[in-house]
Chains A and B, each alone.
Chain A
């Protein structure tokens, strides 16, 4: 009987099976995997099935950073296997819980190892030294693993350096359910081979052999051919015997169901202002004059999938919470890189980041949230960044660049020294257009130039200081840009919040009516009543605490909604906005 223990490590590929931008089709105990190496070297082992419609991901595209499904172009991130983009709905950020099933993977002895629920580490193999071994060509065969193991115990071969002839002594050094170690001796030459038999299915296997030494040059090739020839013979016999024996039924791996939330397609939910992730400041450096950059690495496990435009809350040692955009390009999933500008009138947030936080420090951050999603169905995309507003747009531009989509990147700053992340902006090549030293009036003229020539299916993304965004939005409107094509993100809400009103809020789905008193926000009132609601900046800039208005007239005080959204009266930011009417009914 085949040992189908899910806890045992098995090789599922050789390292040479994962060349640049390729997707390897693997299988273990009946379960198929799509295995691919990202450009940063990370080996991804995923269920070979797109979560959307079950299409094999092994026929998808490895673009070096993400794996793209061949059927609908869904993109899944390096490392996390989280979906970063669904082309059918370009305006939406995919719910970040759409995550493919991933499996543990370790490269060792020239092989890639995995298991469904591995126990411990990939075991050490006596006699093999990492880096000195030679992995043989894998031999797939239509025979059950146990029969293959027993055939391999009788394997005869010549040691390296004495390949001619057939007279070497071969001793069985050890064997277990899925492996056999043999040593050949002849006149001073001696070679150890360890065979790992990968149980592909109940009656299919792959023999993965590793020698303890692999000389270079012509001899290496001769050794590989020597074993290939002998293993092919062994395969012939093993297959003939397997064919004569009764065929066991193929294994049927259990496919996990998606979460109930995904099956129902709800709104993305995130609760409260929680900092669930612990990160280390792996690196802190000056990204530009007055801008500190931080590379945040997870203390444990993987960071959640992010999309371009997403931000995180950083909980600082002094108790403050601030929002920073993730600047990473697609697939750069081993850390988050953020940029923090030292504000002259800092309330203690940026000052703390600049002066207190050091390399090696631990910080708590929230999961990334994306309230500034990037469409990728534009015929041309224009980015306009002002100062530190460059951060979300950098992530976006890298995503478009990776997909070879058309964009230009306008970056306003006082001087060359204030252009942040030069190593990232340099990658944008010709698309990068720095605009230095502009005054408000000249900025307006430049924006007119940039925004002239609107055509349908163009989109513009703006991020920068409030006055610049105001100007850019006005100019875009004058030049015929529809509001739906103008996307913006403010750093902060500089409106003076009038919280003097008091009114009633009815939550339709929760069947609760609450009284919002002067000085309290809708969000605070709901929280006090025990109603959970996601939030982030809590000043009307980031869009996290958005709610749908069913009835009543909102009193908008945020900078997140555009004019059309405000006029429609169907959305409200619950952290700052209030009601003009005596009663507001929300879809919560």
Chain B
């Protein structure tokens, strides 16, 4: 095999998302970019996918014949997306048990290209302090700007970061009320480039909506962000649910694209953390400990 442009073995060995299964026309070759490599994929309409390093004889748009494929990359369909790896991935992807609950709506809100590194985008996903300023009147509103104390831990057995007891004031906290109130969040980072948040459901206060971002690093400073929704809602059309999530993500975009440097600095002295950034601090440390170098500026040793 020819050497990959990405030299980070940790990242090479990860599963990476490529596309939402529901949006791929079955039986035709599709093309995308992963870790600076051109990668092709196709599905058979039965929920199976094949992925390979792009080749001149199987270009995008060609009808796909599985027999033509000799050297395939690992492929997996999970949480509505096609995943692959350029290295040796683990057998299992991280677990989102709620995905199997039958009464949930499961959607790809959108796959959007962003000119930023994957870790910067994950850190933004974990951040609550920006709600009143970036998601004004939706996820937050001045003067309710406080990030209250919350807990962060690195789960050793699952090798993931978990932030719990997160609360933030949200105007119109539920569909039933026009008043603002604290909304609860739980954040998980089970993968250097993927994160999942759980949020009080506006329709059922005993359960949590699940929103995830799965980031496909095209290169160190460009990503495709796949936004998965797994929510309780039997009222709204798909497109209304998607619209909300796209609005939110569209608001984050100019922030992400104006961060400098684009790669996430892991040197603790590169930026100024505050208590509200506990989860980001844990995330940066975790990336350092794992030895991730792709999409970050490693701390000088």
A touching B, CB within 8 angstroms:
yes
Q: Which of A51, A53, A265 has the most CB of B within 10 A?
A: A53
CA distance A577 to B268 in the complex (A): 38
- Using Cβ atoms and an 8 Å threshold, which residues of chain A touch B255? 55, 70-71
Contact indicator A376/B145 (Cβ below 8 Å) = yes
**Within the complex, which residue of B133, B143, B268, B269 is in contact with A72, where a contact is CB–CB below 8 Å?**
B133
CB proximity to B under 8 Å, residues A361-399? 376-379
Which residue of chain A has the shortest Cβ distance to B145 in the bound complex? A87
CB proximity to A under 8 Å, residues B239-288? 254-255, 258-261, 265, 267-276
Contact indicator B134/A52 (Cβ below 8 Å) = no
CB proximity to B under 8 Å, residues A246-262? 255, 257-260, 262
CB proximity to B under 8 Å, residues A48-71? 48-49, 51-56, 59, 70-71
Which residue of chain B has the shortest Cβ distance to A32 in the bound complex? B260
- Over the window 230-266 of chain A, the binary record of Cβ atoms lying under 8 Å from chain B Cβ atoms (1 yes, 0 no) is 0000000000000000000000000101111011110
Contact indicator B130/A89 (Cβ below 8 Å) = no
**Inter-chain contact total with CB atoms closer than 8 Å:** 97
**Within the complex, which residue of B129, B144, B268 is in contact with A263, where a contact is CB–CB below 8 Å?**
B268
Contact indicator B275/A89 (Cβ below 8 Å) = yes
Contact indicator A54/B145 (Cβ below 8 Å) = no
**Within the complex, which residue of A51, A87, A89, A376 is in contact with B271, where a contact is CB–CB below 8 Å?**
A51
Tell me how many residues of A have a C-beta within 8 Å of chain B.
36
Known: A55-B259, A72-B133. A376 touches B143 (CB 8 A): yes
- Over the window 142-154 of chain B, the binary record of Cβ atoms lying under 8 Å from chain A Cβ atoms (1 yes, 0 no) is 1111110000000
CA distance A90 to B143 in the complex (A): 10
CA distance A255 to B270 in the complex (A): 8
A469 within 8 A of B: no
Contact indicator B260/A405 (Cβ below 8 Å) = no
Contact indicator B130/A457 (Cβ below 8 Å) = no
Contact indicator A378/B143 (Cβ below 8 Å) = yes
A98 within 8 A of B: yes
**Within the complex, which residue of B130, B267, B275 is in contact with A265, where a contact is CB–CB below 8 Å?**
B275
Contact indicator B272/A262 (Cβ below 8 Å) = yes
CA distance A500 to B179 in the complex (A): 55
CA distance A51 to B260 in the complex (A): 10
CA distance A88 to B145 in the complex (A): 5
**Within the complex, which residue of A54, A70, A87 is in contact with B260, where a contact is CB–CB below 8 Å?**
A54
Known: A257-B267, A377-B143. A55 touches B272 (CB 8 A): no
B171 within 8 A of A: no
| A153 vs chain B, min Cβ distance (A) | 36
| B173 vs chain A, min Cβ distance (A) | 15
| B88 vs chain A, min Cβ distance (A) | 34
| A149 vs chain B, min Cβ distance (A) | 29
Contact indicator A59/B258 (Cβ below 8 Å) = yes
Q: Which of A52, A54, A59 has the most CB of B within 10 A?
A: A54
CB proximity to B under 8 Å, residues A155-192? none
Contact indicator B260/A48 (Cβ below 8 Å) = yes
CA distance A76 to B34 in the complex (A): 40
A127 within 8 A of B: no
CA distance A258 to B123 in the complex (A): 19
- Using Cβ atoms and an 8 Å threshold, which residues of chain B touch A91? 146
| A359 vs chain B, min Cβ distance (A) | 40
- Using Cβ atoms and an 8 Å threshold, which residues of chain A touch B217? none
Contact indicator A87/B129 (Cβ below 8 Å) = yes
| B86 vs chain A, min Cβ distance (A) | 28
Which residue of chain A has the shortest Cβ distance to B278 in the bound complex? A265
CA distance A280 to B116 in the complex (A): 49
B132 within 8 A of A: yes
CA distance A49 to B269 in the complex (A): 14
- Over the window 123-167 of chain B, the binary record of Cβ atoms lying under 8 Å from chain A Cβ atoms (1 yes, 0 no) is 100000110111000000011111100000000000000000000
| A377 vs chain B, min Cβ distance (A) | 4
| A51 vs chain B, min Cβ distance (A) | 5
CA distance A260 to B261 in the complex (A): 20
Contact indicator A405/B261 (Cβ below 8 Å) = no
Which residue of chain B has the shortest Cβ distance to A68 in the bound complex? B133
Which residue of chain A has the shortest Cβ distance to B264 in the bound complex? A54
A73 within 8 A of B: yes
Contact indicator A265/B258 (Cβ below 8 Å) = no
| A263 vs chain B, min Cβ distance (A) | 4
Contact indicator A90/B271 (Cβ below 8 Å) = no
| B250 vs chain A, min Cβ distance (A) | 15
- Over the window 75-117 of chain A, the binary record of Cβ atoms lying under 8 Å from chain B Cβ atoms (1 yes, 0 no) is 0000000000011111100000010000000000000000000
- Using Cβ atoms and an 8 Å threshold, which residues of chain A touch B144? 377, 457
Contact indicator B146/A89 (Cβ below 8 Å) = yes
9 CB-based A-B contacts, threshold 8 Å: A52-B271, A56-B260, A73-B142, A87-B145, A88-B129, A88-B146, A88-B275, A258-B271, A376-B143
> What are the nearest 5 A-B pairs in CB distance?
A87-B145, A88-B129, A257-B269, A88-B276, A88-B147
10 further interface pairs, Cβ-Cβ under 8 Å (given A52-B274, A56-B259, A59-B258): A48-B260, A51-B271, A52-B272, A55-B260, A72-B133, A86-B274, A87-B146, A88-B276, A255-B270, A264-B268
Q: Which B residues form the contact surface with A (CB < 8 A)?
A: 123, 129-130, 132-134, 142-147, 254-255, 258-261, 265, 267-276
Q: Which A residues form the contact surface with B (CB < 8 A)?
A: 32, 48-49, 51-56, 59, 70-73, 86-91, 98, 255, 257-260, 262-265, 376-379, 405, 457
